[in-house]
Structure 1
């Protein structure tokens, strides 16, 4: 049980501190891919630690009920008294609730998360199919069908499907020069090439399921921003900074929910990032790598320390 308490304490501390510290390192998009890795590592670490703590607590409780006489050997006399019924039915029920409620809550939340993932992926595929039916296919890219949608709104976005779809409106085609359009489309292809829609689906599902834990809503917003910046970098390497910058500023349309759009997620901040020199590269990179290391190693250290402490007590 000491290990479970340690993991739960670590998860609470990390969930409280990360949304206050990480945005300071990732808001300028100095290393967008590393920033995404840091957020995903922290969220995975917190969820994994919490889930493992619940499993350990339930396993310990089951072992306690099946072998209550062995508790005395570990010095847990009070729990043994409760389990064997010497403290009455009310005490037994209380101990049962302490272990059962977190387990039931975990099952409900993770079931809700799984349903939200399936629902969002199905919605995206249906949207992609509808776009292929209503739009005109311009050409086929290795990662997606590029579809022209008749609309005066200037927009370009991608939707994950089978196959994927990159949408560009007739208003955007009319407003963009050839190099600008190529840069904008490269931005959308970068999203699909790096599987950004999948990451966005996962983080948004976590934010919806654990809405009261600030780590997940804040993390979902930051990951969405960083994914846009990552796609910007790929487009810049292929077509240059100026075509992408002017293309972004020319777009005004808003993408549907669940889609990744070149004109989404803080266009002005991204434009400023493209024209501003990047500073503190090494310091921020070192800080992000440290955060990833803490997220990966801290739970293992907690388990080792708690297990060692338990062995010493025994």
Structure 2
């Protein structure tokens, strides 16, 4: 029963999240919406893994501690010929495969992105020079400004960008890129990309990656517009077109929607909207844990304090 409840929770979150987290309201709450997407992904993952474990290790086995868990697993392996034993072993194997797939996906995603950024930066070094303000200038005929996260992060500016942007627009773009670096936005994108890579057949995973990539650009736009105004940010986005390398974060990504948002900003969210979003994040994170703890508590109580005992 516990496994069924957890699977129902994961299914509900996976089905409802894409429609619930893609409305126009998300542009006014980009930070909390990113938290909702990551919370939904974590909630689905924990619920599915816990459901698989509880098939082989029922909550009642938790009452005996580690010995009970080991005994339950050994009993499942010994009873492979029986229906329940075969189901338990299958659940354990599926859970182990999912864990391995998630781990491999996260490691490969982070390592491949870091390796690409290092190669890209190494290729730029012979063609670049360092500005006194800390950004790297590359001679190129295309106007582009983007950042390469790392230690330290680099803001790359092509020589053509100087001619394409006014002083205020250029300052807004630099603020945008530095907001990406300070906010570690590349880690948020990498988490969503790794989840999608591990579960390519899950529609929620694909939508989450796309939405998080969009929302981190809104976060950086907001930071730039606070100091240089929305008009400067919008104009800079248009002038830079959409020239951003694959594993970089650039000021021109998703230009059309971002320009509209800058020129016609969404209404400021009220405190109750923020509270609702924050509460939803807490529920997503606490849901699977609450089901697990409640089931284990009931099992422990039934073993230690059986009904009818004095």
Instruction: Please tell me the TM-score bracket, short chain as reference.
Output: 0.7 to 0.9
Decide whether the 8 Å contact of 2:55 with 2:88 is kept in 1.
no
- How far, CA to CA, are the matches of 1:5 and 1:213 in structure 2? 19
Does 1:275 pair with 2:283? no
The correspondence for 2:186, drawn from 177, 197, 215, is 197
Which ranges in structure 1 are unaligned for 5 or more consecutive residues?
A: 69-78
Q: How does 1:46-65 map to 2 (within 5 A)?
A: 46-60=44-58, 62-64=70-72
2:116 matches 1:117? no
Secondary structure at 1:63's aligned position in 2?
Answer: helix
Q: CA RMSD in A?
A: 2.7
5+ residue gaps in structure 2?
Answer: 59-68
Q: What is residue 94 of structure 1 aligned with on the other side?
A: 86
What is the deviation of 1:304?
4.1
User: Does the C-alpha gap of structure 1 residues 260 and 84 become closer, same or farther in structure 2, counting only changes over 3 Å?
Assistant: closer
- Residue 148 in structure 1 maps to residue 137 in structure 2: yes
Given candidates 153, 162, 166, the residue that maps to 2:151 is 162
CA distance in 1, matches of 2:56, 2:104: 21
Map of 2:32 onto structure 1: 34
Per the alignment, do residues 245 and 277 of structure 1 end up closer, same or farther by CA in structure 2, a change over 3 Å counting? closer
Q: 2:221 aligns with which of 223, 232, 242?
A: 232
- Contact 1:158 1:260 (C-alpha < 8 Å) held by counterparts: yes
Distance 2:223 2:88 in 1: 54
Determine the C-alpha separation between the residues in 2 that align with 1:198 and 1:84.
44
- TM-superposed deviation, 1:309: 5.5
CA apart distance, 1:101: 3.0
Return the offset for 1:91.
Answer: 4.2
Per-residue displacement from partner, 1:182-213 (whole Å, max 9, x unpaired)? 11111001100111112112211211221111
Q: Structure 2 matches for 1:1-314, cutoff 5 A? A: 2-24=1-23, 26-27=25-26, 29-60=27-58, 62-64=70-72, 66=74, 68=75, 89=81, 91=83, 94-95=86-87, 97-113=89-105, 114-141=107-134, 146-265=135-254, 267-279=255-267, 281-282=269-270, 284-307=273-296, 310=299
Classify 1:53/1:250 alpha carbon distance in 2 versus 1 (closer, same or farther; 3 Å). Answer: same
Distance 1:133 1:193 in 2: 27
Residue 47 of structure 1, CA deviation: 1.7
Report the number of matched residues. 291
Deviations 1:36-94 (A, max 9, x none): 1111111122222223333444545853354x5xxxxxxxxxx9xx9658xxx364773
Helix, strand or coil for the counterpart of 2:157?
Answer: strand
* TM-score, length-scaled by structure 2: 0.83
C-alpha separation in 1, matches of 2:73 and 2:44? 29
Closer, same or farther in 2 for the Cα pair 1:277/1:309, shift >3 Å? same
Give the TM-score of the pair, scaled to structure 1: 0.82
Deviations 1:84-129 (A, max 9, x none): 58xxx36477335422331232133123212222222222233233
CA contact (8 A) 1:125 1:160 kept: no
1:73 equivalent in structure 2: none
Partners of 1:56 and 1:131 in 2: CA distance: 52
Contact 1:201 1:258 in 2 (8 A): no
Distance 1:56 1:185 in 2: 51
Whether contact under 8 Å (1:6, 1:306) holds in the other structure is no
